[in-house]
Structure 1
């Protein structure tokens, strides 16, 4: 690993102004704890950047539950993962009961008091508050020194980050307040309809993109981990692909706007949302991204030193010595003894696993499983460093039982601790700290394989062929031919993107989120959007609950 290059990322834990926040009392409450004189904090372009832009990137990853876009538990990633059909966190006797938290998430019974919901809301708005502070300060500095162009460049980067956070709010909560200044008073906060939030995110990204850097965000160097053009194009492609969902102000009636009537303007040309998706995917390709090829092309995105992957577009930089960011997910999925075999004293947490639906999609137990099965999951006997792991309770080789998974096990079930295929996708890092939670593998938020599949889907929805794009993704791993139908595209997204946090969104877009699956009956359409937590409503009287939920 090149530590010198990693340090070139302008993250600062020591000189950047800090902010603490808590939406339990008020999601716009500001509690600055800046220890620097303002004259020092903003005395030159580098210090201005550190204290208005770089400090925001320290929030994208996190080292505690409820925060970060991914890597930690009890927040955004878990909300998007354990309510879908590809991953499950079962109750294993007395383990993982947590008052029914994970069972309720999987069965869509989260209600309006769920802790993951308020932690996600608070986290997203907490970063937005900090973005607004930065934008206000950059506007003030620009007024004092209009000739300096870097103020506009910095502001564009912050607006791009803020747009990303509003994108997640749009996707998960739909009807949310749009707050653009740190000077906004609570009495002036108004709740916007989902289509208004969609238009706001779209406008912010469109106006920011021209000033964003062309460099690759996953490459070590000055722009490592930063919002660049390609990351913004990716968000625009997601907006366009999900436009029928995001412009629908009543998602409970099973009727959506027609994507062909939802317009984008790309490079001066009006396009419908499917055409816009293709255009933005093409722009990402033009930025120099492609699928990693070869025997290990798929897994090379997730290896210990995955910086510089041709496929990774936007990542959470991971380095235990430099950044306060964790990836708890491998540890959470491993059996207790696997963690110990890897040298982590506290072992694995023996939690998350693949669903029955995921195993069927991957063809587990068939003569021709998808090649990505063994690249995504541990199934059967577990081998670490060439040696079989011994089950400390039985004295026999530890063997996972993928098809034995279910939502709740009682203590008498002998398959309880071994049930379920476990997360394999990210390579184990023997140098990880915090019992394996702090590895060097950067967490991949956006990658090019998703772009290729978005393009295929958009083409099909627009009445064209997405076969070449689907073939590109499947050929990379040596998978056999599959016709490019919408049904096959939804399946392919599971095969390619399992564990990456997109499944809830995909199921909603395809109208499958509420379908019955193993251990869960059919659910109601209003559950496609999370509620606003009861505590948030109690302290912000301008907000009303999302349809279908009671206070």
Structure 2
């Protein structure tokens, strides 16, 4: 670990960022450049920070689908049967090899070390000191704050995914061994650093700072988020004496594997800090905004508009920070996000319509069927029951375990069909950016904090701001709530708004409700499966039904890429936000037939035999739907395994951490060991 924590990689230069987004992603070969040259001008300094952004994107968050964050909750799951890719997501990382994510672990340390080095060089410059004394943001104070924010984000990721980690040894080659630091002490240190830096950073949109760089807006939100996590429930170690110093805890459940689920006793101090800085992010939003209107002709879904900006290869005005990609980039600039988390496609790796989308993120059917209210514009824009065949045709997804068109219903927020035109030359090259944080998330974190602090009216106002966008009016606003009822309403709103974006897992952990919610969704799935086996359908409390069979047929639409539709009697359009791009306009790909769209009957209601016979007479085909969930004992077992099977009782501490790699442990001279029952070698 010495060379990993204390190591600054050779400086990698790139073309000046200001020319275009491509510049800071296409890094050149490393070259040895002295410190004075690195900080000779703001543009030279930014070139080095560009390496940090690129390394964070490619070698940190891209490892193992950003640490399985979006695929381990009571709404989201992984699709394959028996794969080890989701052992962390199901809370069984004790079964992983010790170096399962060593690349991401080391990548975070190399990134934060470079950022801290740059920050130190800037802080030593007289021009920076003069600018800081002036009390107003300049290019130098922005770069300093930007570097410190990159460092803080990397440590935040390390704490979230590895727990307590070594801290403070960056690029100090005199240190030959190291130990674990308390995550709470790390949070305090990072927050203190950012509080010093953020007043002298540009707000989003000022000083040429867009959403692909870290701004004061993002820095404020990050302070608030780290304070919220520090004060929230989490699984802490009990096997390292004195690790947490004077911090005292309220514990939930049993102590197992040298760990326990707990929250610090003085958590309200951190919630107050989170309240202050999440509000600061809102007040200092600059050009960031919650999108509440749809500027597209013939569209009326401002929620989906945010995600369309990604498909349009633009930064969204709702984003506080999104990581840049370029279309058709080299290996260091691949667009992994839509491949891993996009709407599935059976297409080939190149020249397909569209190309292959693996689809590692699937939506648990009880969530899709049972939790969205009628009229919620987020449902169809968030979740889809169809994917792509890869030849220009729509295809029903199957609940059979697998990937691409198998594996179950899918997230729908990133769909290459919605590009104009889609990139068909090669998979993983679409150019869509990687989302990190958006304004709706900040507003709902603020509501979560205010609900905990008893600021009920303010919390309700924030939730209703999100709901009014989702429904298009105030008729679905939540009323006067307080206490646990309000906290649950906020938690549920975050689930509906942010499903598939890697937040629900952490929301459940932080709320202290992870074990109970894990057991609840497993029971809901068991009840649904039993009903499908015994009577052929299951009715959810909201009236929706899932049946063993649906009826489908291919049809021709003038506009094959569909949008919002409220008329459930239009089976070719309902549910909305599916269909296909008109790939016949792209000469390099093969498109089969002319009927590219799928009409679906019986998706939300059980179709009886008399109606089924009429549908068959109209050309519909009886198609396995819920039946594929119960068709084989192995399939039932796969779903049981893939949905949070690491929680077996309400007293289990959730064990969601990855193992610290072996080199770190071996070089620590016995001072660092994995906890939580994770492997030591």
Normalised by the length of structure 2, the TM-score is 0.63
Q: Larger deviation: 494-503 or 247-256?
A: 247-256
Q: What is the SS of the residue equivalent to 2:293?
A: coil
Structure-2 separation of matches of 1:116 and 1:61: 18
Match of 1:327 among 335, 342, 348: 335
CA deviations 1:451-487 (Å, max 9, x no partner) are: 1111211111111222211111111021734456222
Match of 1:527 in 2: 655
Q: Larger deviation: 234-243 or 202-211?
A: 234-243
Match of 1:490 in 2: 491
Distance 1:348 1:274, change over 3 A: closer
Match of 1:7 in 2: 19
Q: CA deviation at 1:313?
A: 0.9
The question of 1:457 aligning with 2:448 is answered yes
Match of 1:133 in 2: 117
The question of 1:50 aligning with 2:47 is answered yes
Match of 1:443 among 420, 434, 457: 434
Match of 1:358 in 2: 367
Q: Larger deviation: 532-541 or 470-479?
A: 532-541
The question of 1:84 aligning with 2:73 is answered yes
Match of 1:193 in 2: 182
Distance 1:45 1:272, change over 3 A: closer
Distance 1:493 1:325, change over 3 A: farther
For the 8 Å contact 1:153–1:211, the answer to whether it is kept is yes
The question of 1:318 aligning with 2:356 is answered no
What residue ranges of structure 2 are gaps of 5+ in the alignment? 1-15, 133-138, 238-250, 252-258, 295-299, 523-639
The question of 1:74 aligning with 2:71 is answered no
Match of 1:418 in 2: 406
Q: How does 1:363-512 map to 2 (within 5 A)?
A: 363=372, 368=374, 370-380=376-386, 388-389=393-394, 398-401=395-398, 404=399, 418-428=406-416, 429=419, 430-432=421-423, 435-465=426-456, 466-478=459-471, 480-482=476-478, 485-512=486-513
Q: What is the SS of the residue equivalent to 1:238?
A: helix
Distance 1:58 1:286, change over 3 A: closer
Match of 1:245 among 232, 249, 253: 232
Q: CA deviation at 1:501?
A: 1.5
CA deviations 1:237-280 (Å, max 9, x no partner) are: 212322323898557444422466425xxxxxxx8345435533
Match of 2:148 in 1: 159
For the 8 Å contact 1:234–1:451, the answer to whether it is kept is yes
For the 8 Å contact 1:174–1:246, the answer to whether it is kept is no
Q: CA deviation at 1:185?
A: 3.5
Match of 1:543 in 2: 672
User: Number of residues paired by the alignment?
Assistant: 488
CA deviations 1:315-338 (Å, max 9, x no partner) are: 112222678433334334554435
Structure-1 separation of matches of 2:22 and 2:189: 28
Match of 2:358 among 332, 335, 349: 349
For the 8 Å contact 1:320–1:440, the answer to whether it is kept is yes
For the 8 Å contact 2:346–2:357, the answer to whether it is kept is yes
Match of 1:301 in 2: 306
Structure-2 separation of matches of 1:223 and 1:115: 36
Q: CA deviation at 1:536?
A: 2.8
Flag the structure with larger Rg: 2
Distance 1:493 1:441, change over 3 A: same
Structure-2 separation of matches of 1:421 and 1:12: 36
Structure-1 separation of matches of 2:213 and 2:304: 23
The question of 1:207 aligning with 2:212 is answered no
What residue ranges of structure 1 are gaps of 5+ in the alignment? 19-32, 264-270, 390-397, 410-414
The question of 1:102 aligning with 2:99 is answered no
Q: What is the SS of the residue equivalent to 1:166?
A: helix
Q: What is the SS of the residue equivalent to 1:488?
A: helix
Q: CA deviation at 1:116?
A: 4.4
Q: CA deviation at 1:192?
A: 0.8
For the 8 Å contact 1:195–1:247, the answer to whether it is kept is no
Q: What is the SS of the residue equivalent to 1:315?
A: strand
For the 8 Å contact 1:234–1:284, the answer to whether it is kept is no
User: For the aligned residues, what is the CA RMSD?
Assistant: 3.7
For the 8 Å contact 2:303–2:377, the answer to whether it is kept is no
Q: CA deviation at 1:369?
A: 6.9
Structure-2 separation of matches of 1:305 and 1:280: 30
Distance 1:204 1:242, change over 3 A: same
Q: How does 1:21-36 map to 2 (within 5 A)?
A: 33-36=30-33
Distance 1:347 1:279, change over 3 A: closer
Q: CA deviation at 1:376?
A: 1.2
For the 8 Å contact 2:288–2:320, the answer to whether it is kept is no
Normalised by the length of structure 1, the TM-score is 0.76
Q: CA deviation at 1:199?
A: 0.4
